[in-house]
Chains A and B, each alone.
Chain A
Amino acid sequence: MNRNTITAVAFLVMFVGLGAAYLYLSRDVAAAARSAPLAPAFEVDPLWPKPLPNHWVLGSTIGVSVDESDHVWIIHRSSATLNNNEKGLELEPPTGECCAGAPPVLEFDQAGNLLNHWGGPGEGFEWPSSNHGITVDYKGNVWIGGNGNGDAQLLKFTKSGKFLLQVGRANARQGPANAEGVSTFPGNSNDTASFGRVAKIFVDPRENEAYISDGYLNKRVVVLDADSGAFKRYWGAYGNKPDDANLGPYDPDAPPAPQFRNPVHCAELSVDRLLYVCDRVNNRIQVFTPDGKFVKEAFIAKRSLGEGAVWDIAFSKDAAQSHIYLADGRNMKVRILRRDTLEELTNFGDGGRQPGQFYAPHSVAVDSRGNLYTTETYEGKRVQKFIYKGLRPVPSKDQGVIWPR
């Protein structure tokens, strides 16, 4: 056998071998796909967003929303949550060449470019002492809540930052000073003029109503007229009249609490007009009709203590909104649930500071292509993008960090 024949046979053997391997593996892959349930799959985009200009850095990032153009809006607490070694440019005198807190409201395009920025105190409105939650509604209005001590108001702006509406007054919850002379802020979940540290707002285009997660001090969901801000209705857990009595610390083995615990952290209306409410510390989602009739509840990571597991939710982008993406800032994960049964299919993420990891994932939002955005509070201080890769067989319940494959 000459050299040419040997080379030709080698090529043939390699080609046939690889073809056989492909056929064998494709059978196994197909079998695995048939047996596993399907769930939305993601992979982190480690290059999104692009670096901010002007030596700006983010503070605790406590809200994200996607508008009709798929622009991503975030709100963060900027310098108020930056340590001195993070904001040297702001100190007097400056201690270095970097950095300074970025303006609170930032708008990014799909490529991660910063398009627009604004926010902070101004004429005619009371900017929150601690920003919390951002929502761009169906008219392009930007809604902002706040969970600082005296924050009892919410604000509405245009996308360019022009003030439109304030509902509630700052310090409306301020009570008498305690024995140490410090102001107290008791909740009042039956007030129809102001709130108690609003966590998040959702606007229903059909009825032009705003659903308020109220909040870090009150224990209720409030519904407003989205134009005038007039109170229309409100309710507590199980549709009960809300009660501000102290429930004590959460006990995973105790019967479910008859009221929400603080904070009531999200209220999102689905396409089939069911309202999903995040009862964060009680580790549960409660589902209501738009007029406050209780439908069902589900517990998520029930043994989580401290801040609780149910921080924020967003619905998948299919027409039926078949899945719920749940930010679990206690366990540093995003959980994927079936919306009909509230059963958890899988989760991804783990504690850490690399792309795809989390430090207190606080908020989630989805764009029209199904891509997912998360923001992280405390020392997380960032926004991340997870690219939607379609429905795929669930590889495992705990996927860990979803690096690009």
Chain B
Amino acid sequence: MALVSVSTRVLAAVAAVLFVLGGTTAAHDVPDDITVQAFLRADAGRVSLLVRVPLAAMRDVDVPTRGSGWVDLARIDPALRHAATVWLIQNIDIFEDGRSLGPGELSAVRLSLPSDRAFERLEAASAQLAGPPLDARLQLLWEQGALDARIDYPRQGPPGRLAIDADLRRLGQRVTTVLRLITADGAVRAYQWHGDAGVVELDPRWHQAALSFLRAGVGHVLSGPDHLLFLLCIAISLRRIRTLVVIVTSFTLAHACTLVASAYGQAPSALWFPPLVETLIAVSIVWMALENIVEYAGAASADGPGTRALGRRWVVATGFGLVHGFGFSFALSERLQFAGSHLLTSLVAFNAGVEIAQLAVIVAAAAAVTLAFRRLSSPRVAAIVVSAIAAHTGWDWFLERGAVLWQFPWPAPSLPAIETTAVWLAIAVLSAAVAWGVRRLIDRRASARRLTTPRYSHQVRATETVR
């Protein structure tokens, strides 16, 4: 009871002092959009995090004020330290070679103007934190300022690979973190993410990058309804392993071409390009579904079309593979920052992830379709109905995405545009040539097997009779 009484008296006294001193508590709405800027650098004995956060994001802080609510800049230091501890240090973990470096130590803190550009470069940010505070006569409200802090994490031994886990979601409705890592050789590597990205490996080993991008590739296929529907359209028509191999290989090679080219900055950057690709992906679904309907409707066998009817599908798969590759690249573009120095490895891993997921989906879908159709009296009708539903869905997407695309007129022809088109046509021709070559190779092997294996017993018997 005595303790409670003392605590109450102390709190009351603190409150009275704050009131007399003209303090106010910064308690505002959660801001909509907050950007956190940070630099991370490993030096001998410590890892330093320099960070800037708009003060509008740091609520429930006792702020000393003067006049018409201006921040009392001469007495602001304790409030800034409190804000940095509660809102930053307690929510940021730095790891080196997988080990947490423990809680950071606040070595410098200051208030800056929102227009200050010091956090564009590490040197300027360091100088800002070491420089003199703002003129105490400045008229500034709490929510108009920015908090700059330097947080040090003690470390030992040679520098290792850094990772960061910064959960800063409480700062705003939408929090964007822009982090620049200064590597040992002085290079700057930039990262940007929204909300809580979990543990971000800033300098991943090749296998960490590969695993991360492999997962991303699998996840992208499995979470994309349009891509899954396209694969289902392929699966419906598959009856032979050879056809599957040819079509999937064509599709894979084609989308690998555009995916890699996009990652190296060769895709058009125009605003109309993403909606064009999205629209063409919808077209690819409609095309595949309609082709299934036409082939099944005209097939001689009740089980569906033969390989001859679908023999040219590899050409279509190549064309649509180029389009889907661009679609993959849009998903990949934001992740590439996490590849570290393993861009090519990450690209290959992402492609591999896409392939694994694709094959799994096609095999599962083909097996499911085969099993389901076996139980039906008319597999042909079932295939037509499923394809019609796919076509309908694809058509809806086409209209929706096309509506966005149609807002852009066709670009006027110009020399640079024709030059870019020539490059992409060359890539398309090359993809088609490779896919065609693979198909010829498979055909030739199949023919060779037929020649060496006596498959037709009546022919063997006829030969024996002649003898």
User: Is B407 close to A, CB under 8 A?
Assistant: yes
Complex contact B415–A405 (CB within 8 A): no
| A22 contacts B by Cβ under 8 Å | yes
Residues of A within 8 A of B115 (CB): 68, 137-140, 205
Q: Which residue of A lies closest to B28 (CB)?
A: A160
- Contact-residue bracket for chain A: 35 or more
Q: How far is the CB of A363 from chain B (nearest CB, A)?
A: 20
Asked whether A11 is an interface residue with its Cβ less than 8 Å from the other chain, the reply is yes
Asked if B302 is at the interface of the complex by the 8 Å CB criterion, the answer is: no
Report yes or no: B432 in contact with A11, Cβ–Cβ below 8 A: yes
B319 at the interface (CB under 8 A from A): no
Using CB atoms, name the residue of chain A closest to B33: A109
Contact B422 A69 (CB under 8 A): no
Are the C-beta atoms of A43 and B426 separated by less than 8 Å?
no
Given A227-B139, A404-B411, the answer on whether A139 and B271 have CB atoms closer than 8 Å is: no
Q: Is A19 an interface residue (CB 8 A)?
A: yes
B35 near A69 with CB under 8 A, answer yes
Least CB distance from A3 to B in Å reads 10
B408 and A18 form a contact (CB under 8 A): no
Contacts of A138 in B (CB 8 A): 113-115
| Bound complex: CA A69 to CA B34 (Å) | 8
A47 to B272, CA, bound (A): 11
Q: Of all chain B residues, which has the CB nearest A31?
A: B415
In the bound complex, how far is the Cα of B144 from the Cα of A247, in angstroms? 44
Contact of B114 with A139 in the complex, beta carbons under 8 Å: yes
In the assembly, what is the distance between CA of A25 and CA of B416, in Å? 8
Q: How far is the CB of B33 from chain A (nearest CB, A)?
A: 5
Interface contact B426-A18, CB-CB below 8 Å: yes
B440 touches A4 (CB 8 A): yes
B419: chain A residues within 8 A (beta carbon): 22, 25-26, 29
Interface size class of B (residues with CB under 8 A): 35 or more
- State which residues 29-52 of A face B: CB under 8 Å: 29, 32, 43, 45-47
B191: interface (CB < 8 Å) = no
Whole-angstrom distance between the Cβ of A24 and the nearest chain B Cβ: 9
A377 to chain B, nearest CB (A): 24
Min CB distance A376 to B, Å, is 19
Task: Evaluate contact between B114 and A67: CB separation under 8 angstroms.
Answer: yes
- Decide if A15 touches B430 in the complex (CB within 8 Å): yes
Which of the residues B144, B414, B418, B429 comes within 8 Å of A15, measured between beta carbons?
A: B429
Asked if A80 is an interface residue, CB under 8 A from chain B, the answer is no
Residue B412 at the chain A interface, CB threshold 8 Å: yes
Question: A11-B432, A45-B271 known; A25 and B422 CB under 8 Å?
Answer: yes
Q: Is the CB of B140 within 8 A of A139?
A: yes
- Given A4-B440, A47-B407: A21 and B422 interface contact (C-beta under 8 Å): yes
Does chain A have a CB within 8 A of B425?
yes
**Chain B CB within 8 A of A116 CB:** yes
B422 touches A18 (CB 8 A): yes
**Interface assignment of B32: CB less than 8 Å from any CB of chain A:** yes
In the complex, chain B residues whose CB is within 8 Å of the CB of A160: 28, 143
User: Is A403 positioned at the interface, with any CB of B under 8 Å from its CB?
Assistant: yes
A239 to B187, CA, bound (A): 49
CB distance from B246 to the nearest CB of A (A): 15
Quick one: given A25-B415, A115-B32, are A158 and B143 in contact (CB under 8 Å)? yes
Asked whether any CB of chain B lies closer than 8 Å to the CB of A342, the reply is no
Residues in B with CB closer than 8 Å to A47 are 271, 404, 407
| A28 contacts chain B at the CB level, 8 A cutoff | yes
Give, as a whole number of angstroms, the nearest-CB distance from A370 to chain B.
Answer: 14
Are B411 and A403 interface neighbours, CB within 8 A? yes
Contacts of B113 in A (CB 8 A): 138-139, 205
**Restricting to B396-414, which residues have a CB under 8 Å from any CB of A?**
404, 407-409, 411-412, 414
Shortest beta-carbon distance, A47 to chain B, in Å?
7
List the A residue with the shortest CB-CB distance to B174: A109
Contacts of B416 in A (CB 8 A): 29
- Complex interface bits, A44-85 against B, C-beta within 8 A gives 1, otherwise 0: 011100000000000000000001110100000000000000
Residue of B nearest to A70 (CB): B35
A182: Cβ under 8 A from any B Cβ = no
**Binary CB contact string for chain B from 129 to 145 against chain A (1 if under 8 A, 0 otherwise):** 00000000001110110
A162 to B143, CA, bound (A): 12
**Which positions 141-196 of chain A face chain B at CB distance < 8 Å?**
141, 158-160, 162, 164
**Nearest 8 interchain pairs by C-beta:** A138-B115, A11-B433, A140-B144, A404-B271, A18-B426, A25-B419, A405-B411, A22-B422
**Which residues of A are interface residues toward B (Cβ below 8 A)?**
4, 7-8, 11-12, 14-15, 18-19, 21-22, 25-26, 28-29, 32, 43, 45-47, 67-69, 71, 109, 115-116, 137-141, 158-160, 162, 164, 205, 227, 355, 387, 389, 395, 403-405
11 extra interchain contacts, Cβ-Cβ under 8 A, other than A22-B419, A389-B269, A405-B411? A19-B422, A25-B418, A25-B422, A29-B419, A69-B54, A158-B144, A160-B28, A164-B68, A403-B408, A404-B271, A405-B270
